[in-house]
Structure formats: structure tokens, C-alpha cells
Structure 1
Amino acid sequence: MDFSKVKSVYFIGIGGIGMSALARYFKANGYAVAGYDRAQTVLIDELQKEGIEICFEDELALISDVYKNPLSTLVVYTPAVSLEHEQLCYFSSHSFTIKKRSEVLGLLTCRKKGICVAGTHGKTTISTMVAHLLKQSAVDCSAFLGGVSQNYKTNLLLSERSDYVVLEADEFDRSFLKLKPYLALVSSADADHLDIYGDDRSVKESFVEFGGLIKAGGILLTKKEIELEFKERDEVCHLRYSLEDQEADFFADNIRLVDGLYCFDFYARGAVMKDMVLGVPGMVNVENAVGACAVACLTGVGEDEMRRALCGFKGIRRRFDYRIKRDDLVLIDDYAHHPEEIKATIRSVRALYPKRRVTGVFQPHLFSRTKDFYKDFARSLNQLDELIMLDIYPAREEPMEGVSSHIILDLVDLPVRKIVDKKKLIDEIKAVNPEVLLMMGAGDIDKEIDKVANALR
């Protein structure tokens, strides 16, 4: 694609975390940028303040004339939007160049050294850590992040001097197969998005195919415990990382808690960096940090640079995000929406607060995911002391007969477990008088976080 002919970019589904980063990129590079989304959010507020025009009704009249020239306008859409969307149909029927977000990112990785972080969970945290480690060093990078970095208050980082671009490689809709990585990291490959893939085997095959897209002279970095049979290539170096497996190329040892933060020795292909301190809590993040530090080593970040940056890492909005941290009450907000993510998050909370009662608020995301994994969700949520559930957030889906939050709750064996309406959420939380409150989900539960935090303060 010849970007030199593009003057304006219109995004359908601009409020998504990945779409918004791309919109910011084009805006920063002098393009006219506008788009559609169905609801106002904090992220959309930020985009509007940055000068991006956004409409909330699917009407042709709301598209400005500057975006109606097919010779100079690129249209980017998310697969989460229906193909019957009126604006999308207009662009399709009038010879506009229309690309999925993943296709545009793929074009960018062809021209740069793409560091592409994949995994059914962990990819947002790892990619943000990698971007921070590189950004705080002489290596530097640009980055398209799947979350809002607390260090930079944005999901887009730009560099005029580095050829590295860090981005999240999303397996949904097989989007990551549009990328052309220089370095690909795979953190996990558990079953997910079975509405797209059909079964676990197809998920794993897709990750193997992703690993085969690496440019000659590039690097494949995988979590050692992942059971995937990647095709070994002479022109690609395959390395492995692990939390504690000393047979891996990169691993951690001597892991301990110091003043609420984890400290560990980082081993990198025989070398050791003693007493590395991770600036965010949670054992799950130590494993993420090992992967991120491995990437940093492979791209030339020095030990002193890495040590300072890792300690200064502040995390990501809605990833183990402390909203209240008092002696009598802790409120943590987390994006966890897969059974494995929930299990890891609760375990991390337990390690930090072993003697305190942990109350979870969980909103399932998608009817299809609930149907596929309701037994696994119940097993993970059973690690809590108390559970409050919200109804399923449907996102792009229509309701499915017999699928509701009840099919999870019915398998949960806790003394306090209930499903509540969002309007009664605060009253129900106050009634249990939580000690540690963990709010989890990828739907619109994020709109309730501030309300709950303010009520509990």
C-alpha cells in the first residue's frame, strides 16, 4: 500500500484499545483522523481531546466530506464490527481502500523491526514492559500497546531514531497472521476464541503458523512450558524463557517479596543480573518480566538500563491496578477474562495478602466464551472467599439460549456467591465489608470501578 497517497483515515470501531493506538499514530503523523464507535468511554474522551472527530451513530451524514474521497482516504475497521454496519457498507460499495487494523500493523512491521508479543494471556503486560525497557534505554522504540501504560499515560509510543516497533500480536480473528515479526514472543497458547477457531488444536496451529512468519535473521522467543511444535528454521534463532526452569535460556531464581514487591536474580544465557526489583506486584508479573527482560537483552539493552527501568515500571491501566491500598481495604482492578488469567490473578493476590479475605467481582465476557469455559471459570473463581457476579457482557454477540452467569455460579462452592444487577453492586459490596476486593472482567465493568472506589473511600 502507498501511504503517500493517503491524506485521511477513518476508523470504524475507533474506541478499541488497538484501534485507538493506530488512530493516534496517524494523527501524530499529520493525517486527518476521524471515526465511529458506539459509546463514549474514557479512552474516547482522550481521543476527542487530542483533536480526533468521533461519532456515535451509524449514519452516513456524520462522516465529514474530507473522508469521502476514495483516492485519499484509508478506512480501518475492527472485526468486532458487523459487516452490515452502514458506514462500512458505504465505504465497501464506493471503492475505498479498506483494511483491518492487523493488516495496517502488518504493513508497518514489514518496514520496521517488529517485536510482536503473542499469547492468549500476558501479551499486553509483556509488550508494555518491553516497550518501557527499550524506551528507557539507548535502544528506544515505537510501540502500539494493548493497554494504557501508567508510565506514559497512553497506548502509543513514538520514536524518530529507533527501527524497533513493539506491538501486541492478537490471536482474535487470526489477526496476528498479518504481521511480519523480526522478534516474536509467545507467552501462552491456551484455548480461547473457540467461536473463531472451533477447537484447541486449531488455536495451537495458529500460534505455530505465527511463529513461522518471522523474518530471516530474526528470533522466536517462547515460554518453555508451552506445548507447541514450532518448525525450526536455520535462519531463525529459537530461544526459551521460564519463570524458574533453569534449563531455559532466560529464567528467574531466588524470587522473594521485599516490601510488597518481587525481587529476583535474572539469568540470561549464562549471565546473571542479581537483585532485580519489579515495580509492580504479583507473581504472574515476575514471569512476564522474565520474558520482557529477555527481549531487552536480545535487542541490546544494558544491565543498568534494564535494572532502572524494571524498578520504575508502573504497570498498565486495568492490569493488577491498585485503586485503593489501605491497611483496612485493598481494591484491585484487573482485565482478567479467561479462566487461566483469573486463576493467576487470584493466586498473585493470595501471595500478597495470605491472611486476608478476598472478595471477587467478576463480569463474564462473551456468551461463547462463557459457554466454552464455564466449568473452568468456576474452578478458578473457587479460589476466592466470596464471589459477586454480574451478567455476561455480550460485546459483539447475540444471547445464547441457556447461557448466562448462572451456569458458572451454579458450579461455584463458596459460602457467599451471588449474581447482582450493576445498579445494586455498590450496596452488595458494602454488605460483605471486603478486606481485599478484586474486580475482574473485559466488558463494561470498567465503568463501575470509579463508582465503587469512590463509595468505598
Structure 2
Amino acid sequence: MSPHHTPRLESLGKVHFIGIGGVGMSAVARIMVARGVPVSGSDAKDLPVMADLAAAGARVAVGYAAGNLADAQTVVAGSAIREDNPELLAARQAGLPVLHRSQALAATMGDDTVVTVAGTHGKSTTTSMITVLLRAAGLDPSFAVGANIPALGVNAAHGTSGIFVAEADESDGSFLNYRPRIAVVTNVEPDHLDYYGTAEAVYESFDRFTALLPADGLLVACADDAGSLALAGRTRDRGNTRVVLYGTSETAAVRLHDGGPGDVSVSADGVEHVLSLQVPGRHNALNAAAAFTVALELGVDPAAAAAGLGRFSGASRRFEQKGSARGVRVFDDYAHHPTEVRAALTAARSVAGGHKVHVLFQPHLFSRTREFAAQFADALNLADTALVLDIYPAREDPIPGVTSQLIADHLKEGGRLVAAADAVDTLAEAAADGDVVLTVGAGDVTAYGPRIVEALRA
């Protein structure tokens, strides 16, 4: 299957998911089951979502074996599946079409009005905000998000309104598989250079993304981000689709006023609407403005759109509170790019008031650490205490000479490397009443938050 060909749902037949327990894969499987497709799947371990899928009607196996394919006619393979996986080998041997998750998701969208959210940061949050807002306004969208959303209870669902809201991931170019009518771009920065190679290639892929919009389509772009604003300009110059800007800038059609927590509003067509956001930080206020813009385009009453945003309580691992003890609040954030780390720490500062902020950061990927070591340190220096763990390798092999020391070299006083065994106690001792502790990164650093809360209680 070529990377940018989307098959029709009815042509897939029986679909087998290799790695069905993953957050993105389970999302697609859930929607296919709801849309009447016979679904089977397997994963290396028994994950909670697999019981949900089995209850919904999917045939689910734990462990990989060629026999799990049974009479499948199409296979969907998760990005983490290795080429030597016995099910993938069997599928290729049988000549079955093997789809990327995004191709399978695009097939489920069918003839719906598709809203895709792309950008280097803020995709999950903005996709979730749009979904929560539309539901609050009485629309029932289908949706697929790359994170679990407490306000929705699930990360994907089949809706009845003919609107489909999805996160579009640029990390491997797969966002080019969708055919959106409305595309949101929150920001455009060089990232995933292990895939793209150069910053220019990243910008070019976003150009190809906005070129997918039809003549009656709409690009919703952030005026506060240089990359997104430049993309909007190039899209406008091509003249193939409308462009609406949102942000604090005077050029934005949907203007954001952000005076900090409790003082956020948007104005469109000269009318101001107060947003009672439950999530802190300028980045979240901008994400909310993007969601508001999409809702207006879909015909939602502006006042209802503003009210609906108040129901969004955050996405999991996006400045998610893990608990508190001794007057110290502990949060966790998935930030793994310098801009995201800066946003998370800026939000932590606003929540801490005059108190201190302590951060435990786990770099994600050797290649990203090599590219952005100084920028990571620059962002971490916003904290009073910045402790850095060893690099979480994820899919990569080590790169000689690339360690967390590259970041530590640029940290100011209060910043240093920390051994995994010492991290919890060190933070529990550093934090005082009123302080905020933040665990940051896309790896297993998320497990440290509850342990820090326990240590504070001890």
C-alpha cells in the first residue's frame, strides 16, 4: 500500500491489528468495531484497553503468533512493530495489504466532515478541546486522539453527527494520509529530524498537508507561532483554500486575550467571549482559541463554544496533577521538545505563584538530545531545581558521546544530573509547602510522580 493511498472502509474486509493495545491503534480498532467492521488483534502484553475491545466485539489475543491472523483480509501494523514480528511476516507472505495506522484511520473517516489537528506541539490537547466543545454544544463527533482524555473517558469513539475530529501526527509523515476539510496547525518547528533529516523537509511536509485541503476547505493557523504564520502565508499565496488566523496578534481574526488564570477571553467579529479554562498556561489558551475557531466554522453558537471549553479538564500526561502532600502539588507532563518543556514550566510557574518549581526531566531519544541540548537546558533553567535523568532511548540505539550531560552542561545553579535511584528522595526533600513538582518527558518518567507524592507523605 503506497504511503498516501487511502482505501475505502468497505473494501478492507476483516481487519487484524498487530499491536492493538497501543493508544493510537486501539483508537482506530474501537471506531472500526463501532462502524461494523470485523476486527481482530493482538499485543505482546494484556493491556486494559484490550478487554474493552473484546467486550465491544473484537477478537483479541495476547502474544504474537502467525495463527492470530486467521482469515484476516487486511492488516494494520503499529509503528513499534518490528519487521520480524511473526504476524507481520505471515501477512506479507500471504500478500495481504498492510496499512499504517493513519491509513486505517483515514479509511474509517469515509465521507465525514474531517477536522485534523497538526503541529509540533498541542495536537492532543487541541483535538480533545474541539471534541469536548462539540459534544457540549450537542454535536456528536467521531474522534481519535493520541492520548487518554479524562473529560471523554476514552481516546476514540464513533459519533453520529458526520463530523470526525482527529489528531494528525507529522512525526513520520503519516498526516498526509488524511483528507481534511478543516486543518488546524498549532505550530511548525523542526522536530523528528531522525525522520525528516532537515528543517526544510519538515516545512515542506506541512505545505503538502495544507495542499490536501479542498477549495471549500479551511486552514486554521496560529498567528503567534512563526512557523505556523509562515505556513498560513504560503497557503494563502497558493490560493486553494481559506485561511483563518487565531492568537494574541492583531492580525488574528479570532483574537485571544490572555491575562493569566481566570482572565482569558476570545473575540471574533468584534464580540468578546470569556473562556473559563480549567487548564493553565498561554499554550492552552491558544489551543482553546483554535478549538473555538473550528467550532464557529462548524456552525456552533459562539457563546455555546466558549461555555463548552470550560468542560475540558486536560489530557492525560498534559500538566496532569498526580497528587499533593505536605502542601506540595505534583504534576506530570509529556513535554519532550524544548518549546513544550518551556510551556510546561511556564504553566507550573503560574500555578506556583511565588513559590518554587522543581522539575525532573527525562530526555527522550538520543537524536533529539543531540539536536536540542542547549535549548532544553534553557527551558529547564526556568525552574528553581532542575534534575535530569538519563536519556530514554525509545526506538533508538545509543549515539556515541550523546548523554544527558550535554543538557547538564548548560544548566544554571540548582540544575544537575540525578541517578534514577535518588530522584524521588531528592525532590521530596527539596520541595516545601506551596511548591510545585513537575515530572517531564515522553518516557517512563511519568511513573515518578506517584512515588514523589508517597515520599512526601512519608
Task: Verify same fold: TM over 0.5.
Answer: yes
3-state secondary structure, aligned to 1:190:
coil
C-alpha deviation, 1:325, in angstroms = 4.7
2:70 is matched with: 68
Cα 1:345/1:42, change in 2 over 3 Å: farther
Deviations 1:230-269 (A, max 9, x none): 2335452111111x1122111112x334xxx43323112x
Letter in 2 for 1:340: T
Contact 1:359 1:387 in 2 (8 A): yes
The alignment status of 1:425 with 2:423, answered yes or no, reads yes
| 2:246 counterpart residue number | 241
Q: What SS does structure 2 have at the residue aligned with 1:210?
A: helix
Distance 2:408 2:48 in 1: 31
Distance 2:309 2:188 in 1: 26
- Counting only pairs closer than 5 Å after superposition, residues 26-41 of structure 1 correspond to structure 2 as 26-38=32-44
Residue range with higher mean Cα deviation, 16-25 or 125-134: 16-25
Letter in 1 for 2:244: L
In structure 2, the partner of 1:78 is 78
Shift of 1:170: 0.4
User: How big is the shift at 1:32?
Assistant: 4.3
Whole-Å Cα distance in 1 between the matches of residues 70 and 270 of structure 2? 57
Equivalent of 1:21 in 27, 47, 52: 27
Which residues in structure 2 correspond to 1:407-418 (within 5 Å)? 407-418=406-417
Higher mean C-alpha deviation, range 171-180 or range 109-118: 109-118
The gaps in structure 1 that reach 5 residues or longer are none
Indicate yes or no: 2:339 matched with 1:340: yes
Give the Cα–Cα distance (whole angstroms) in 2 for the partners of residues 169 and 453 of structure 1: 34
Q: In structure 2, do the counterparts of structure 1 residues 439 and 291 end up closer, same or farther at CA, with 3 Å as the change threshold?
A: same
Equivalent-residue separation in structure 1 for 2:344 and 2:394 (angstroms) = 23
- Alignment deviations for residues 180-235 of structure 1 (CA, whole Å, 9 cap, x no partner): 11000111111100011111111111111101001221101111233335233545
Name the CA distance, whole Å, in 1 between partners of 2:320 and 2:344.
11
Q: Which residue identity is paired with 1:16? A: G
Instruction: Determine the structure 2 residue equivalent to 1:358.
Output: 357
Q: For 2:259, give the aligned amino acid.
A: R
- Residues 274-283 or 192-201, more deviating: 274-283
Summarize the Cα distance change of 1:413–1:57 in structure 2 as closer, same or farther, 3 Å threshold: farther
Query: Could you tell me which residue of structure 1 aligns to residue 307 of structure 2?
Result: 308
Structure 1 residue 109: deviation in Å?
4.0
The match for 1:256 among 229, 254, 259 is 259
Give per-residue Cα distances to partners, 1:114-142, cap 9 Å, x unaligned: 10000000111111101111111134311
The alpha carbon displacement at 1:8 in A equals 3.4
Deviates further, 295-304 or 445-454: 445-454
Q: 1:377 to 1:173 in 2, by over 3 A?
A: same
Report the residue type matching 1:430 in the other structure.
A
1:441 matched residue in structure 2: 441
User: What is the CA-CA distance between 1:176 and the residue it aligns to?
Assistant: 0.5
2:191 maps to a residue whose letter is D
Larger mean CA deviation between 145-154 and 180-189 belongs to 145-154
Question: CA–CA distance in 1 between the matches of 2:329 and 2:266?
Answer: 30
**Residues 376 and 20 from structure 1, CA distance in 2 versus in 1: closer, same or farther, beyond 3 angstroms?**
same
Cα distance, 1:41–1:230 mapped onto 2, change above 3 Å: farther
After TM superposition, list the pairs within 5 Å mapping 1:5-404 onto structure 2. 6=12, 8-38=14-44, 57-60=63-66, 63-64=67-68, 67-69=69-71, 72-109=72-109, 111-160=111-160, 162-224=161-223, 225=225, 226=228, 227-228=230-231, 229-232=233-236, 233-242=238-247, 244-253=248-257, 255-257=258-260, 261-268=261-268, 270-325=269-324, 328-404=327-403
**Counterpart of 1:397 in 2: which secondary structure?**
coil
Tell me how far apart the structure 1 counterparts of residues 323 and 371 of structure 2 sit (CA, whole Å). 34
AA aligned opposite 1:240: L
Q: In structure 2, give the amino acid aligned to 1:445.
A: V
Q: Which amino acid aligns with 1:68?
A: A
SS in 2 for 1:151: coil
Give how far 1:425 is off.
3.3
Aligned length: 443
Root-mean-square deviation over aligned CA pairs: 2.4
Alpha-carbon distance in 1 for matches of 2:453, 2:9: 45
Letter in 2 for 1:382: N
Larger mean CA deviation between 332-341 and 383-392 belongs to: 383-392
Q: Please give the alpha-carbon distance, in whole angstroms, between the structure 1 residues aligned to 2:168 and 2:440.
A: 22
1:449/1:44 CA distance change after superposition, 3 Å:
farther
Quick one: distance in 2 between partners of 1:185 and 1:174?
A: 16
Partners of 2:317 and 2:211 in 1: CA distance: 32
Percent identity reads: 33
User: AA paired with 2:34?
Assistant: A
Counterpart amino acid of residue 362 in structure 1: F
Q: Deviations over 1:11-51 (max 9, x none)?
A: 22333322121121123334443434445656567656767
TM-score (norm 1): 0.90
Opposite residue 243 of structure 2, the aligned amino acid is H
The 8 Å contact of residues 278 and 311 in structure 1, kept in 2 or not, is answered as yes
Q: CA deviation at 1:173?
A: 1.1
* Structure-2 separation of matches of 1:165 and 1:301: 15
| Contact persistence 2:404–2:417 (CA under 8 A) | no
Deviation at 1:328, TM superposition (A): 1.5
SS in 1 for 2:148: strand
- 1:147 to 1:408, Cα distance in 2 relative to 1, 3 A: same
Distance in 2, Cα, partners of 1:288 & 1:362: 24
Deviation at 1:351, TM superposition (A): 2.0
**Inter-partner Cα distance in structure 1 for 2:221 and 2:114:** 16
